[in-house]
């Protein structure tokens, strides 16, 4: 049995349940944090302090319904939004921002394509610069062609980070999109130091439904966990589920059981 840090997606009202199930971390949504009143925000900060858990990874620095390439997307307005998001989440313990947002960062197929790419690059650079001030790393997520048309693989993101020289721009591996893109598990070994986070759900279930991966769900997760063990992966393995057929508490407990089935225990503080 080896130790890895584990996490589960959730909302602020689920933090205690995620901790009780045995996870190290709760992965929260920036949009929810930004929508909290000042009173509720302080209550959530206290909830995190009181729980035996951390909140180090926050998802989507821009709302999912925003599109950078749109003419209506104002870089300066959204820069102020991200600045506030950095301040709020840093106080809660943020170390990583996951930038998935397939629709948000997609490029139009016609019109001013070059201008759209430049605008996306500028917004990404601003996000990284603001995050760096709070020692937050931005994880640009490789997605699949079905939901995005740019940054579809770990090597592509590695090349982009190298070219731009943005030191706090790294990547994560989302198991669903990794398989959908037909990538080889050897990518994990080749880019081990660049991959700083992992998302996993049951990849057989049709998107957007994402189920907790379970030892008895008919999918073999062995190759993934073998690859992570081989590189002595030191990041967080986070379960990204949004559908709970047997109830939230029961299903997330099954996620811990899957990890144990593959010889992985949560690294408790």
DSSP β-bridge partners for residue 96 = 57, 137
- Please tell me the number of Cα atoms within 13 Å of 201 on its side-chain side: 21
CA 197, distance to chain mean position in Å, is 7
CATH of region 2-266: 3.20.20.150
Long-range contact pairs involving 186-190 (C-beta distance under 8 Å, separation at least 24): 187/153, 187/154, 187/155, 188/227, 188/228, 188/230, 188/231, 189/227, 189/230, 189/231
DSSP β-bridge partners for residue 59 = 29, 98
Sign of CA dihedral 60, 66, 70, 71: negative
The 10 Å Cβ neighbour count of residue 163 is: 8
Report how far residue 67's alpha carbon sits from residue 75's, in angstroms, rounded to the nearest whole number. 11
Per-residue pLDDT at 268? 64
Alpha carbon separation from 213 to 87, 97, 200, 260 (Å, rounded)? 33, 23, 7, 12
Report how far residue 6's alpha carbon sits from residue 23's, in angstroms, rounded to the nearest whole number. 5
Instruction: Decide if 264 contacts 2 (C-beta within 8 A).
Output: yes
- Backbone angles phi and psi of 87, in degrees to 5: -60, -45
DSSP β-bridge partners for residue 97 = 58, 138
Sign of CA dihedral 109, 110, 113, 115: negative
DSSP β-bridge partners for residue 137 = 96
Instruction: Decide if 217 contacts 227 (C-beta within 8 A).
Output: no
Task: Give the start-to-end residue ranges of the domains of the chain.
Answer: 2-266
Per-residue pLDDT at 198? 98
Instruction: Decide if 261 contacts 1 (C-beta within 8 A).
Output: no
Report how far residue 59's alpha carbon sits from residue 37's, in angstroms, rounded to the nearest whole number. 19
* 100 Rama class: left (phi>0) / alpha (psi -120 to 50) / beta: alpha
Per-residue pLDDT at 118? 98
Report how far residue 111's alpha carbon sits from residue 102's, in angstroms, rounded to the nearest whole number. 19
Going residue by residue through the chain, which has 269 residues, state the pLDDT in tens, using 9 for 90 and above: 899 999 999 999 999 999 999 999 999 999 999 999 999 999 999 999 999 899 999 999 999 999 999 999 999 999 999 999 999 999 999 999 999 999 999 999 999 999 999 999 999 999 999 999 999 999 999 999 999 999 999 999 999 999 999 999 999 999 999 999 999 999 999 999 999 999 999 999 999 999 999 999 999 999 999 999 999 999 999 999 999 999 999 999 999 999 999 999 987 65
Pairing of strands 264-266, 25-29: unpaired
The two tokens of residue 237 are 């393995």
């Amino acid at each position: 049995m080896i130790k890895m840090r584990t996490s589960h997606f959730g909302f602020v009202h689920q933090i205690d349940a995620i901790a009780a199930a045995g996870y190290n971390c709760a992965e929260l949504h920036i949009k929810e944090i930004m929508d909290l009143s000042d009173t509720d925000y302080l209550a959530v900060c206290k909830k995190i302090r009181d729980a035996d858990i951390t909140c180090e990874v926050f998802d989507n620095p821009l709302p999912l319904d925003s599109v950078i390439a749109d003419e209506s997307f104002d870089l300066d307005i959204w820069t102020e939004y991200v600045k506030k998001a950095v301040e709020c989440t840093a106080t809660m313990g943020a170390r990583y921002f996951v930038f998935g947002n397939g629709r948000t960062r997609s490029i139009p197929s016609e019109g001013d394509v070059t201008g759209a790419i430049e605008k996306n690059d500028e917004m990404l650079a601003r996000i990284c610069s603001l995050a760096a001030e709070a020692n937050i790393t931005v994880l640009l997520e490789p997605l699949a062609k079905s939901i995005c048309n740019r940054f579809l693989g770990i090597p592509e993101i590695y090349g982009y980070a190298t070219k731009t020289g943005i030191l706090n721009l790294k990547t994560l591996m989302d198991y669903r999109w990794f398989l959908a893109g037909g990538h080889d598990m050897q990518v994990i070994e080749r880019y081990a130091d660049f991959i700083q986070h992992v998302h996993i759900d049951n990849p057989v279930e049709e998107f957007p439904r994402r189920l907790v991966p379970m030892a008895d769900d008919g999918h073999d997760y062995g190759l993934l966990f073998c690859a992570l063990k081989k590189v002595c992966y030191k990041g967080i393995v986070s379960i990204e589920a949004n559908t709970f057929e047997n109830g939230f508490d029961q299903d997330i407990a099954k996620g811990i059981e899957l990890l144990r089935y593959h010889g992985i225990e949560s690294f408790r503080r």
